[in-house]
Amino acid sequence: MVAAITRAQVLGFRVRAQQLHRETGGIGDTDVLDIGVQDSGRDGAPWALAIRGVDVSALGDGVLAKVWTIRGAPHVYHREDLPSVAAAVAPFSDADAAKRMFDASKPLKAAGIGTLAALDAVAATMRSVVTEPLVKGEVSARLTALMEPPYLRSCVPCDAVHLYEQPFRLAALRAGLELEAGTSPPVLRPIAGFEPATTVPDRLDVIRAYLRLLGPATPQHVAGYLDAPVREVKTRWPSDAVEVTVAGEPRWVLSADADGLAAGAAPVTRLLGPFDLFLQAKDRRLLIDDRARAKAMWPALGRPGAVLLDGDIAGTWRPRKDGRRLRVLVELWVPATGPVRDAITEQAERLAAHRQVALSGIELAR
């Protein structure tokens, strides 16, 4: 008999799987690093790790590395995992690579160039160009001078011709390049001793990692997360995934994790960053089943963070400068009771300490 799982059980499962319930933890046992921690925005990966109990003051020792991977976004991983990560995030096929490249695949197809071969060509050229740290714009300019027309586009915003953006990003790790932390515009540099792996451990397999951290899920959810064709994900669906139902919909979770669904809701309050993994799940209607609130949570531009209150999304937050202090603007979707305000204030103080500034207060709006 297929188990019926409630929304509260799903959210509680994800909170615990992603270790948002932890008060303290080490880099070595932080599971979200297996799928990559997106490093976008003001706080990015350091804040995502901090709210999972990691002492981020020790991150400067080089144990982590930032690279462009899933959806071409910058993600942080264990440095020692980079060879296997390169294999894990590589497109599964030419069709998959074409989908992940978006419009860059059209001129390549017209020229008879396979998309995986194209990524290899871009990677080889990038490898020859970036022999020392180089800012992205300089790398792009040098690539443009070396690559053939099918790889290039006329960019109206830049008023220039340069490489398509997605192949540029997707080929960087393939080329053995990482992003220097704290650089904007990003600086690319060679990864010392990098050789891509030929196999992927289960821990880093992107389909398994999604199910482990964002399950229960469907092949459509995983494909949406990767920008991959659904059929490619279905072909590689884990044999040890077991079926459950959520709101009458069939979904899957790894058999080893199925018992974790019984735990139910997780009474945790956190200020999630705009690109925190918890918000990256592709079943957004499960997270927020209200069109207006979902639009506020995921606007086209300028995403806010999410208030995770007692394990559920209860509103949005945005940082505001108050001189040399921090003020946090919070829009709640639940009553602002005393305990709710205290819990949010505690997390805002944590954010201020993370930014090494004082908190001037929180501003609640409903």
Say how many domains are in the chain.
Answer: 1
- Give DSSP secondary structure letters for 87-127: HHHS-SSHHHHHHHHGGGHHHHHHTT--HHHHHHHHHHHHH
pLDDT in tens, 286-334: 999 999 999 999 999 999 999 999 999 999 999 998 788 999 999 999 9
To which residue do tokens 């559920």 refer?
A: 312
Is 329 part of a structural domain of the chain?
yes
Is 345 part of a structural domain of the chain?
yes
pLDDT in tens, 104-147: 999 999 999 999 999 999 999 999 999 999 999 999 999 999 99
Is 34 part of a structural domain of the chain?
no
pLDDT in tens, 177-221: 999 988 999 999 999 999 999 999 999 999 999 999 999 999 999
Q: Which of left, alpha, beta for 59 (phi over 0: left; psi -120 to 50: alpha)?
A: alpha
How high is the pLDDT of residue 324? 85
Is 209 part of a structural domain of the chain?
no
- Give DSSP secondary structure letters for 191-241: PTT----SS--GGG-HHHHHHHHH-SB-HHHHHHHHT--HHHHHHT--TTE
Is 95 part of a structural domain of the chain?
no
How high is the pLDDT of residue 1? 56
Is residue 252 within 8 A of residue 217, CB to CB? The reply is: yes
Is 228 part of a structural domain of the chain?
no
Structural domain range at position 298: 288-365
Pairing relationship of beta strands 359-365 and 325-332 according to DSSP bridges: parallel
Question: Phi, psi at residue 355, to the nearest 5°?
Answer: -85, -5
Is residue 326 within 8 A of residue 351, CB to CB? The reply is: yes
What the block records as the tokens of 331 is: 């829009």
Is residue 272 within 8 A of residue 279, CB to CB? The reply is: yes
Q: Compute CA distances 306 → 43, 59, 250, 295, whole Å.
A: 13, 24, 27, 13
Is residue 122 within 8 A of residue 168, CB to CB? The reply is: yes
Is 309 part of a structural domain of the chain?
yes
Is 305 part of a structural domain of the chain?
yes
How high is the pLDDT of residue 287? 97
